[in-house]
Amino acid sequence: MEEPKPIGMRKPSETTRPPSWVILDSFIHRSSGDAEARGDGTASETSYTCIGRLIRASLRLATGADLPAVSRLHLHWPGRLELRGLREPRVIAAHGHAILFKAIVPFDDPMSCTADTHRFPVDFFVYSAFSSPPALHRLPACFVGGDA
């Protein structure tokens, strides 16, 4: 009788189903183009930032013999300005098939692009991985006491 192979040694076709968990990187990987998202089956439908710039997200899941490994959320954000001191988007939480993340959105006006990046608006998004097609929704702004 042949002994079963350990999970890490099995071919992907020999595995019964994917794990019910993932290790998700809190850093979001970002590209300034949208071309690589077009052929990606995990790419969300197009969404927009609070200033009307196109943004999409996709999920790179670690699978098969790579497990355990880190899975990563990728943003495809062609219109984002590159400024020194501007914080990168970050995952806040994940549960089930949804990922909550925040992104600082620089204004389009070059005159407003100063080193004072804490004055830029912050958008919160939810990426839903297993809707068909995957979805990306910007949450409405929350104003408490006049501040966002």
51-69 pLDDT tens trace: 888 888 988 887 776 678 8
pLDDT tens per residue, range 128-138? 987 788 999 99
Q: Which amino acid is at 132?
A: S
Confidence of residue 124 (pLDDT cuts 50, 70, 90): very high
What is the pLDDT, as a whole number, of residue 138?
95
pLDDT band at 10 (very low <50, low <70, confident <90, very high): very low
Q: Is residue 13 pLDDT above 60, yes or no? A: no
Would you list the domain boundaries of the chain? 7-16+23-138
Contacts of 110 (CB under 8 A, 6+ apart): none
Closest CA to 31 of 73, 70, 61: 73
Cα 129 to Cα 56: distance, rounded to the nearest angstrom: 12
State the average pLDDT for the chain.
Answer: 74
Q: What is the mean pLDDT of residues 85-109?
A: 84
Q: Model confidence at 118, in pLDDT bands (50, 70, 90)?
A: low
Q: Is the pLDDT of residue 6 over 70?
A: no
As a whole number of angstroms, the distance between CA 102 and CA 112 comes to 21
What's the whole-number mean pLDDT along residues 1-23? 55
